[in-house]
């Protein structure tokens, strides 16, 4: 059973449909016990870091998510679901995340990078991912420079660069996917990324 965590943020149906396309047994739930008993866990999300953490806290979902990840179950974070894995987020102040992956989540700041021409924020649309780590099972049959669909204003900064699975260029080089043991998480939206994004969902379901 693949369980998709519902904490009140994001289009969960599109993620669910992505897995159903390949015949996987999938369920969307905010029930802590169902999350604990999942074979695989998916944490999607679109929106603000603080609101997401509040949503998880109000539904008593933080402990079962952290327990599931640390038990070694395959975990897939998507967009905000990637960012929540980190220690701290800096959207409208400083807020604690799940602290599973040490690091922070910060806003694009192109003027701070010395760029004369500012790119649009949010970073929205198709962009390439560049593989930085060999053997990623979720990227099986996905070209190392495939295009994926992004919508975000913040990006993750892992303390341990060894968790970086792919990077993407948008005024700077940022982490677009992490992979650490049983943890896979993307800044882009596989469910909206057509053939190669759906291949990623299939690969995760087959783990």
The burial of 166, by beta-carbon neighbours within 10 Å (0-12 exposed, 13-18 middle, 19 or more buried), is given as buried
Catalytic residue among 152, 180, 189, 202: 189
pLDDT at 114: 64
Give me the catalytic one of 91, 123, 152, 191: 191
Quick check: is 173 catalytic? no
Q: Which of 16, 79, 91, 180 is catalytic?
A: 79
**CATH class belonging to 2-90+101-205:** alpha beta
Peptide bond into 122 cis (omega under 30): yes
Q: Which 3 state secondary structure label does DSSP give 167?
A: strand
Short-list 115, 113, 97, CA closest to 105: 97
Q: Choose between 118 and 127: higher pLDDT.
A: 127
Structure token pair of residue 131 = 């593989």
Rounded to two decimals, the pTM is: 0.96
| Residue 198 C-alpha from the chain's centroid | 15
Q: Where are the domains of the chain?
A: 2-90+101-205
Is 191 in the active site?
yes
CA atoms within 13 A on the CB side of 63: 6
> What is the signed CA dihedral for 50, 56, 58, 62, rounded to 10 degrees?
-120
What does the pLDDT look like over 82-107, one tens digit per residue? 999 999 999 989 999 999 999 999 99
């Amino acid at each position: 059973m693949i369980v998709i965590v519902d904490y009140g943020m994001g289009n969960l149906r599109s993620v669910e449909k992505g897995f159903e396309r390949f015949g996987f047994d999938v369920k969307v739930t905010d029930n802590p016990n169902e999350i604990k008993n999942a074979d695989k866990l998916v944490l999607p999300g679109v929106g603000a870091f603080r609101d997401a953490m509040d949503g998880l806290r109000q539904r008593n979902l933080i402990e079962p998510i952290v327990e599931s990840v640390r038990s070694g179950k395959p975990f897939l974070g998507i967009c905000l679901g990637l960012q929540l894995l980190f220690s701290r987020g800096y959207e409208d102040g400083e807020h604690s995340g799940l602290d599973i992956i040490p690091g922070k989540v910060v806003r694009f700041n192109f003027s701070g990078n010395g760029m004369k021409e500012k790119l649009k924020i949010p970073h929205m649309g198709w962009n390439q991912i560049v593989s930085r780590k060999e053997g990623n099972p979720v990227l099986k049959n996905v070209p190392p420079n495939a295009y994926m669909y992004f919508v975000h204003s913040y990006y993750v900064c892992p303390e341990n660069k060894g968790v970086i699975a792919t990077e993407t260029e948008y005024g700077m080089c940022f982490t677009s996917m992490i992979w650490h043991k049983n943890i896979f998480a993307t800044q882009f939206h596989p469910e909206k990324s057509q053939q190669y994004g759906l291949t990623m969902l299939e690969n995760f379901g087959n783990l």
